Structure 1
Amino acid sequence: MTGRRRGLTILAVIVVAISILTTATLAALVITNYQHLGRLAKVVHLVNREYLEPVPFSTLVDGAMKGIVGSLNDPYSSYLDPEQYKQLFEQIQGSFTGIGVYVSKRDVNKLVVVSPIKGGPAERAGLRAGDVIVKVDGEDVADMDVDVAVSKIKGPEGSEVHLTIFREDGQGFHEMTIVREEVQIPVVTADFSEQDKRIGVIQISQFNKIAANEVDRALRRFKDEGAKGIILDLRDNPGGELDSAVDIASNFIPEGPVVHIVDRSEGTETAYSTRDYIGLPLVILINGGSASASEIVAGAVKDNGTGTLVGTKTFGKGIVQMVMELDGGAASS
């Protein structure tokens, strides 16, 4: 019993020491950042007291959170308020109301069209991959978070949005007015080539929740009907979910790793194949609009030597993003 009491005493001392160390560390952080926190509190007080109209405290908090993420100066990181997160979720599910266009920040102050959705209002209006969106309804979007800019492009079905775009091929500025509508995302289309009925062609427009199952279905059909090769068309595919990319890539490489993800501490997480290798000759079509998950699939095939990449240089987004849900329906990515 005496030994047990001694052990408990030592444990209690360790716990107290850790508690003191933690408290001291937090205190040091607070002291170090006291001036910044004080200025933040003062700004909130001044807005509440001096601003022309009352502002809900929740609006100020949302603005602060947007500012925190925005201070990273990272075009792929953003704070999504509940409405913006809802719109992102709808897009992942396969439909949304807008003009039918995928955009990304090529650098911090350039909102670039990755690709218009085939058959959507943006494509019909003449918007092209590579176009730079400069203004939305007369408002400059260069310095906006990409999700804020997207929320301004989207809107109620039947309403209009006016875009000012810049074409970097020497054609200069263009003005476009596009009517918003409900856009159904054609995730996967698959059929035999018109030029050679022995070749199955699969075109993927986005790596969302249903894409992998649709690709599985297409490959089963091609094998059952005696296909001798596959063309996988990832042109103008802006990416999507990591799990979907891993599942789809798994059809085209032998059992093993699909992608290695390195985190901030240099730790590596590896995603492994989840499907049986189909074993047919493969060509993957890519271009400047092939981004993110598309690059994961193309890269896995290239690294394993199981197919040939044909096309032009891809978009170049070598980053895996996570969407982390927050309370109140918001999220951060």
Structure 2
Amino acid sequence: MAKRKGLIAVAAVVAIVSTVVTGTLVGLVVANYQHLGRLARVVRLVTTEYLEPVTMSGLVDGAMKGMVASLKDPYSSYMSPEEYKHLYEQIQGSFTGIGVYISKKDMNKTVIVSPIKGGPADRAGLKAGDVISKVNGEDVTSMDVDIVVSKIKGPEGTEVALTVFREAEKRFMDLTLTREVVNIPVVTAELAKQNEQIGVIKIAQFNQTAAAEVDKAVQAFMDKKVRGFILDLRDNPGGELDAAVDIASYFVPEGPVVYVVDNRGVEEIYNTTHTQIDLPVVVLVNEGSASASEIVAGAIKDSGTGSLVGNKTFGKGIVQSVIQLDAGSAVKLTTAKYLTPKKNDIHKIGIEPDVKVELPKDANGLALEAKEGEPDQVMEKGIEVLKTMMPQ
């Protein structure tokens, strides 16, 4: 029955969208008669005069890509069926590629947010802050991030050539990496080595399984009578909004977790989904903590139920909606911004930690995280702060 209701709701939405689009097109024809006339003339010229044969479907695809690209929003794009398919591969828990999270800093910078530990990119020495300029010799600086991802991915065992610019060193690097199946460790949970009364939950990404995995970890820790939690969101690039709300609900009181505001100023409130754990929490963050990570961190900071330790977050406070079109294509469009419970807009700003940990910087000016076997200064500071919050 629930499925049937969902289908009815979707059908109603499609009908409404169809009506709105039809009305909008009529308005465009009236208001932009001259522009549409020029468009028709360009189509005629291309189809009749261009040297090589063209298809109308190819021209329409190009027009739609250009239309969305004209928004100059690095997070919005028209996606072909193949590009749309690649969009959701990553949230399934594994993918074939080089093991790297990327995002857009602006229209012409595809930036590595973080390499996945142990993956090809990590082994090759790629770092957070590196800018990908070419993939297999093709300039990708102005391409949508999902299109860049689709070009980097490929069959296991094949090679991909990258040209990467390291800003602090003012130099380009050419690397050839072999694609492999990269398993994403979504949630890891263990007792802190320094104090077994503290449960440490590290979330790599807010994908489809993250909330269920965190729930399992929380219940296991509660059975062990832990007295506090470390939530490690360092280098977590984000993911699904619902997963972020579910996970944040463990650590904030009943009420709003995040406000989502559309282009008309209409607010949608995402409230907590279950009861808060009555234990203190410290959240570890850095420059790679983005989007859904910032929703969780912002909710905990605003509610005052925990402390943020580390370095300022990435600063992505906007929401994308993916609208599927015919034949498997889709449009990914920035449709809203999100605000923290205190209605702070953190887009392009980030969230400052309550306790900043000064770490040595790499050549890109980004904080160097601890290597295998080295003391983790941020974790150590987080445990130190958490001890002061734990009931005595």
Normalising to structure 1: TM-score of the pair? 0.89
Which residue identity does 1:97 align to in structure 2?
T
Which residue identity does 1:252 align to in structure 2?
F
> Structure 2 CA distance, aligned partners of 1:36 and 1:126?
49
2:276 corresponds to 1:272: no
Which residue identity does 2:128 align to in structure 1?
A
Structure-2 change in CA distance of 1:55 and 1:182 (3 Å): farther
Alignment deviations for residues 90-147 of structure 1 (CA, whole Å, 9 cap, x no partner)? 1122222211111111011111001112222111111111111111122221111222
Which residue identity does 1:313 align to in structure 2?
K
1:259–1:271 Cα contact (<8 Å) kept? yes
> Structure 2 CA distance, aligned partners of 1:303 and 1:199?
23
1:199–1:231 Cα contact (<8 Å) kept? yes
Deviation, structure 1 residue 60? 1.6
> Structure 2 CA distance, aligned partners of 1:252 and 1:224?
17
What are structure 2's unaligned runs of at least 5 residues? 1-21, 333-392
> Structure 2 CA distance, aligned partners of 1:296 and 1:168?
29
Task: Answer with 221-230 or 31-40: which moved more.
Answer: 31-40
The aligned residue for residue 7 of structure 1 is none
The aligned residue for residue 262 of structure 2 is 263
> Structure 1 CA distance, aligned partners of 2:213 and 2:26?
54
1:287–1:312 Cα contact (<8 Å) kept? yes
Deviation, structure 1 residue 159? 1.1
Which residue identity does 1:30 align to in structure 2?
V
Q: How does 1:4-15 map to 2 (within 5 A)?
A: none
1:78–1:145 Cα contact (<8 Å) kept? yes
Which residue identity does 1:283 align to in structure 2?
V
The aligned residue for residue 33 of structure 2 is 34
The aligned residue for residue 16 of structure 1 is none
Task: Answer with 318-327 or 43-52: which moved more.
Answer: 43-52
The aligned residue for residue 5 of structure 1 is none
Give the secondary structure class of the aligned counterpart of 2:113: strand
Deviation, structure 1 residue 57? 2.1
Deviation, structure 1 residue 78? 1.0
> Structure 2 CA distance, aligned partners of 1:153 and 1:260?
34
Give the secondary structure class of the aligned counterpart of 1:275: coil
Structure-2 change in CA distance of 1:24 and 1:197 (3 Å): closer
The aligned residue for residue 293 of structure 1 is 292
Which residue identity does 2:29 align to in structure 1?
V
The aligned residue for residue 182 of structure 2 is 183
Q: How does 1:114-129 map to 2 (within 5 A)?
A: 114-129=113-128
The aligned residue for residue 236 of structure 2 is 237
1:250–1:258 Cα contact (<8 Å) kept? yes
Q: Percent identity?
A: 67
What are structure 1's unaligned runs of at least 5 residues? 1-22
Task: Answer with 199-208 or 92-101: which moved more.
Answer: 92-101
Alignment deviations for residues 2-26 of structure 1 (CA, whole Å, 9 cap, x no partner)? xxxxxxxxxxxxxxxxxxxxx9997
Which residue identity does 2:294 align to in structure 1?
E
Deviation, structure 1 residue 250? 0.6
The aligned residue for residue 220 of structure 2 is 221
1:87–1:96 Cα contact (<8 Å) kept? no
Deviation, structure 1 residue 28? 5.7
> Structure 1 CA distance, aligned partners of 2:26 and 2:208?
45
Give the secondary structure class of the aligned counterpart of 1:308: strand
The aligned residue for residue 66 of structure 1 is 65
> Structure 1 CA distance, aligned partners of 2:23 and 2:255?
47
Deviation, structure 1 residue 315? 0.7
2:77 corresponds to 1:110: no
Rg larger for: 1
Structure-2 change in CA distance of 1:230 and 1:25 (3 Å): closer
Alignment deviations for residues 148-182 of structure 1 (CA, whole Å, 9 cap, x no partner)? 22221112211111111122233632221111112
Which residue identity does 1:146 align to in structure 2?
V
Give the secondary structure class of the aligned counterpart of 1:128: coil
1:231–1:284 Cα contact (<8 Å) kept? yes
Task: Answer with 212-221 or 178-187: which moved more.
Answer: 178-187
> Structure 2 CA distance, aligned partners of 1:127 and 1:292?
22
> Structure 2 CA distance, aligned partners of 1:28 and 1:313?
45
Task: Answer with 237-246 or 166-175: which moved more.
Answer: 166-175
The aligned residue for residue 17 of structure 1 is none
Which residue identity does 2:77 align to in structure 1?
S
Normalising to structure 2: TM-score of the pair? 0.76
CA RMSD of aligned residues (A): 1.7
Task: Answer with 233-242 or 31-40: which moved more.
Answer: 31-40
Deviation, structure 1 residue 235? 0.6
> Structure 2 CA distance, aligned partners of 1:142 and 1:26?
32
Count of residues paired in the alignment: 311
Structure-2 change in CA distance of 1:179 and 1:236 (3 Å): same
The aligned residue for residue 283 of structure 2 is 284
